[in-house]
Amino acid sequence: MKLILKGFTDTVLTMMFLELCSIGSTLSCAQSLAQSPAHARSAFAIIDPLYSVQSSNPPANIADGGATWIYGAGELESWRLKLLMARKDSAGLNVGYPGVYHTPYDSVSYRLYVEEPVSFQSIAFRVVGWGKVLLNGVEVSSFDEAESLLTVSTGDTEDINEIQFDLVSATDPPALLIEDQRFSTLSRNWQWRGGNGLWEPAFHFPQTVSGIPPHLLDNPTVTLRPVTSEEGLYDFGRELLAFVIIRSEDEPIIRVGESETEALDVENTRLEQSLAMKGVGENIWRSRNTLAFRYLYIEGTQEIPAEAVSAEALFYPTSYKGAFACSDSTLTRIWMNSGYTLRVNMHDFLLDGIKRDRLPWSGDLTMSLFVNAYTFHEPELVRRSLVALNNNGIEESDVNGIIDYSLAWIVAQDKYQLYFGDSEHLEHEWGRIKETIHLLLARTDENGFLNIDGRTFIDWVNQEKWTAVQVYWWWAQQSGINLAKRVGDDQTVALLTEKSEELKTNLISVAWDDEQQVWRSGLDPVSEPTRHPNFMAVVSGLASPEQYDGILNLLQDDNILPVGTPYMAGFENMAVSRMGNVEYMLNQVTEYWGAMLDEGATTFWEAYDANEEGAAQYSFYRRPYGKSLAHAWSAGPAYFLPSEIFGLRPLEDGWKRFSLDVNLGYLEWASASVPTKYGPITVDANQENVAIIVPPGTVMQWKGRTITGPAQINEGY
């Protein structure tokens, strides 16, 4: 499926919106483009060429109704991760991917037991792989691999209670689809096992409109045209992950860039991605791999017209269910561009960057999860990411090979439940989560401190990180307590409560500076205080309100070494606002993310330093263009602007109960719409009044009141 859109600018979109508003129709201006005041007021800032509010754009290749395909639990996710790793290598990306990941089984079995015996003579099904059919444990037929529907004759069979398929596939994950109601794979009673392992529940995926098995489903492509072109340089107006298509008699020699500087640097030999082209028709050339770029440069003296150049851009089918706007147009633009930053990184999983690495990372996921919750509300991408990242466990290697990413994975599991409420996922994953927690506990010393015996990240800064890791460890333990309570594991609740209290006590004794009222960076009493342990202590809940004054003073001190990435700047801004200084947070967001907009960014960068100028600002990893300019961990403002300005956060899984605490700072007005499984929560406030819509099935805690939805409130505060 393809859509064709001409690239358009923000100005054109604003004109489109104003024109719609002037048309005499039965729909109001807000209704024509939006579902809330925040959607209407932010329309001027739209950067996404597929921006949609009411329905997925492009349409999803997911069929309604019918039986589901069944796979082994985690098998599809692990297979897709392996595929992305292979594509990363094919695309020539300059990145490693540490960690040990589950290799999907090539031999699996599926079985279904029915209480009422049935009789039949044949069974129709679709499979991925080849194998045999067993009835009541006896083989009755075998079959070869086929793409179409198979029908196997079973003879005159009676009193059948159990049907089993033993499948093998050399390349793809073995899967099964049966529409027959007697044995439909829609039934949740289907089980699977890998090899000769234990039987456990199979996992279900809906059929596709195109008919392909779900594991082969990629994001649909949309054909986009350049916005401008001049002297061989084509600007598509925004960051894209796309195949380049060029009509030319001769094979074109191309350069691409997330920046104009990168695209025009024909002398650069340290390419970040393969630029190989292949012929796909008469005088039609297509890049062999997807490319991350905004700018395309075609070398040579022959000018190729803009209409002969296009991009087949990949977009995850979704809509902007969430929205944010305020009286500061820069902040509104930052929110919109943050949402688009995550959008281009939504594929099989929530990826970290489209130029580097095109893979999921657990640390990045903690921020991407939040942004997704407030913008798109696509829980499946979070679930898939969590499953694939730690399907192998951490006995051989930490998640992504990084100790704090194992901690982040536990925190993300807790936040996934809080924001999306997926108890079925937790029920299945709890064993893996519990195992991970116990393996981490086994790596602690007599004080409860986590032994840092592997790679640590935290942030791209060269400073002591011991305290920050221990704070993160405490946060992971609290997340483990929350998860254990959900599944009724009282023993784990008691264990982690004891361990976390011990850790907190001992951490305060060695790393809290009573004189300065801040957290030091390490065990050494003379170690300097740094930002990371202090804002992480606030965000995690480790810091008490009595400690806020000292921590806030430190975070507002320009002499303290700044964070290294927008990723950690996001957590720092959350902490500052939660300690009461929303105005400082707003100023920091405007200065930091707004500066990237001033540099021409349409998506936010992996790292940013305002002191860097020219080509130096694109350099990273000792490579001239190693920095990713479309990095999901930098999309934080799409989350923390509405969450912090409105104090709008879930208190019970899936937003069943949530808080509201409006603090506009210096803003004259602000609006937000936050998607939930119950419907959107909308807030529209100025300095004197607030209008709120509480969706049915939810409860809002506000000003000491409990308000049960559905409810509409319009009053002063």
User: What is the set of domains in the chain, with CATH numbers?
Assistant: 69-216 (2.60.120), 221-314 (2.60.120.260), 323-645 (1.50.10.10), 649-716 (2.60.420.10)
pLDDT digits (tens, 9 = 90+) for 136-189: 999 988 998 876 788 887 777 778 899 999 999 999 999 999 999 889 999 999
Token pair belonging to 58: 């492009």
**Residue 430 contacts residue 483 (beta carbons within 8 Å):** yes
pLDDT digits (tens, 9 = 90+) for 204-243: 999 999 999 999 999 999 999 999 999 999 999 999 999 9
Share of the chain above pLDDT 70, in %: 95
SS3 label, residue 525: coil
State the burial class of residue 620 (Cβ atoms within 10 Å of its Cβ: 0-12, 13-18, 19+): middle
State the burial class of residue 27 (Cβ atoms within 10 Å of its Cβ: 0-12, 13-18, 19+): exposed
What is the DSSP annotation of 363-423? HHHHHHHHHHHHHT--HHHHHHHHHHHTTT-SSSS-GGGBHHHHHHHHHHHHHHHHHH--H
SS3 label, residue 427: helix
CA atoms within a 13 Å half-sphere pointing along the CA-CB vector of 328: 17
Token pair belonging to 701: 């805690």
Q: What is the dihedral of CA 603, 608, 93, 7, to 10 degrees?
A: 20
Q: What average pLDDT score do residues 460-469 get?
A: 96
pLDDT digits (tens, 9 = 90+) for 510-562: 999 999 999 999 998 889 999 999 999 999 999 999 999 999 999 999 999 99
**Residue 228 contacts residue 235 (beta carbons within 8 Å):** yes
Region of 560 (left: φ > 0; alpha: ψ -120 to 50; beta: rest) is beta
Distance CA 567, CA 673 (A): 23
pTM > 0.85: yes
Token pair belonging to 313: 């851009």
In the block, tokens 């923000």 appear at: 10
Distance CA 383, CA 305 (A): 44
Burial pattern 361-380, b for ≥16 Cβ within 10 A else e, equals bbbbbbbbbbbbbbbbbbbe
pLDDT digits (tens, 9 = 90+) for 646-669: 999 999 999 999 999 999 999 999
Q: Is the pLDDT of residue 16 over 60?
A: no
pLDDT digits (tens, 9 = 90+) for 591-650: 999 999 999 999 999 999 999 999 999 999 999 999 999 999 999 999 999 999 999 999
Q: Is the pLDDT of residue 19 over 50?
A: no
- Residue 163, H or E segment: strand 150-168
CA atoms within a 13 Å half-sphere pointing along the CA-CB vector of 216: 14
State the burial class of residue 184 (Cβ atoms within 10 Å of its Cβ: 0-12, 13-18, 19+): middle
- Residue 476, H or E segment: helix 466-487
Distance CA 527, CA 511 (A): 9
Strand ranges inside 635-716, DSSP E: 649-652, 657-660, 669-674, 681-686, 689-694, 699-702, 705-708, 711-716
Beta bridge partners of residue 519, listed in sequence order: 512
**Residue 586 contacts residue 666 (beta carbons within 8 Å):** yes
Q: Is the pLDDT of residue 15 over 70?
A: no
